[in-house]
Amino acid sequence: MITIYMPNGSLGSVLHGNRGCCLEWNLRYHIILGSTQGLAYLHHDCVPPIVHRDIKANNILIGLDFEPYIADFGLAKLADDR
């Protein structure tokens, strides 16, 4: 398991925390777009496809340059073709 420190915490903590951080709309769009691209990769490009099953703001980590990372694959499931 690889542990990477995410200095900005989760999207949930950025949006609802008391750190006083306010995300401008273009930055929110960048985070949403990156998150959906990550989910599309899991669903369409992985073999077998991976279904996360627990996407929420607290499971999207925010990197140093506010790039999103999908985290917590505890409920994830490999999709089969059956």
Point out the residues that are catalytic.
Answer: 54
C-alpha span between 70 and 41 (Å, rounded): 11
- Distance (Å, whole) CA 22 – CA 41: 29
Of 38, 68, 63, 58, the C-alpha closest to 50 is: 38
